[in-house]
Amino acid sequence: MTPNHADRCNQTNLSTGYEAVFWDIGGVILDLDSVRAGHRAFVGALADEHELDREEALATWRDELGSHFSTREGTEFRSARVGYEHAVTAMVGHELPEEEWLPAFKRATRENLEPVAGTVAAIRRLETHVHQGIVSDIDTWEGEALLSQFGVADRLDAVTTSEEVGRTKPDPAMFETALEKAGVEPAAALMVGDRYENDMQGAARMRIDTVAFGGSASEAAPDDPAVTYRVEDPLEIVDLVGIDDG
């Protein structure tokens, strides 16, 4: 773990006043194409094992997961793990014990998941300078696994997930929890995300400045008040924060 917040503030002079950077995971730290590749590999292996058509199995997987998340009420949390279980049941036609599919799912995703290289580099550059936290709708177990796989878990100060809070972004509780862990005021924080409503609007309503990186966040109008900055390379965030690490 990096030094605590007070120690970091003594180590750096932030011309911008930012003392915390909050990172989304999907699309920001985690390459979304690699997620799709991991799911496809898992579904293909399971389909072969149960003598199913691979493409039909993949379509069922996607439909079931889409339904699982789209039918939730408001910003309530729904576990991806439960969604995976439902999708597996729909694919094979009956329930499978978790021990018969989850190890294969973890292996397939571990072998395929890739980080956004620039974000990993930015997190490493910002270490010891500011509080760095995760604010993500991911299940806690899944988030911890991939952050460890990408070599950034020990470089982050806090992880706030929807499983922990019980709500998803843009619910204020997600950002309030992250701010409390960071021990900073909203004006001293940056939220980096790729989704306009969840990341940009959600953080902006809490008076947190935002950084749009890809996705629907980058498609916002140039004068949209919910988007403070736009970057194409996450390493630009090091300059936004005002770090000069020589």
Stated pTM of the model: 0.91
CA 194 from chain centre, in angstroms, equals: 9
Options 1.20.140.10, 3.40.50.1000, 3.30.70.141, 3.40.50.720; CATH for 5-31+114-241 is: 3.40.50.1000
Specify the higher pLDDT residue, 10 or 174: 174
Q: How far is CA 93 from CA 5, 83, 122, 128, in A?
A: 51, 15, 45, 51
- Count other Cβ atoms within 10 Å, centred on residue 190: 22
Q: How far is CA 206 from CA 55, 66, 77, 133, 142, in A?
A: 43, 29, 20, 16, 27
Task: Report pLDDT digits (tens) over 190-209.
Answer: 999 999 999 999 999 999 99
Mean pLDDT over each residue of the chain, to the nearest integer: 93
> How do residues 95-132 score in pLDDT, each as one tens digit?
999 999 999 999 999 999 999 999 999 999 999 999 99
- Please report which confidence band the pLDDT of residue 11 belongs to, taking 50, 70 and 90 as the band edges: very low
How does DSSP assign 183-239, residue by residue? T--GGGEEEEES-IIIIIIHHHHTT-EEEE-SGGGGGS-TT-TT--EE-SSTTHHHH
Instruction: Give the span between the Cα atoms of 112 and 237, in whole angstroms.
Output: 27
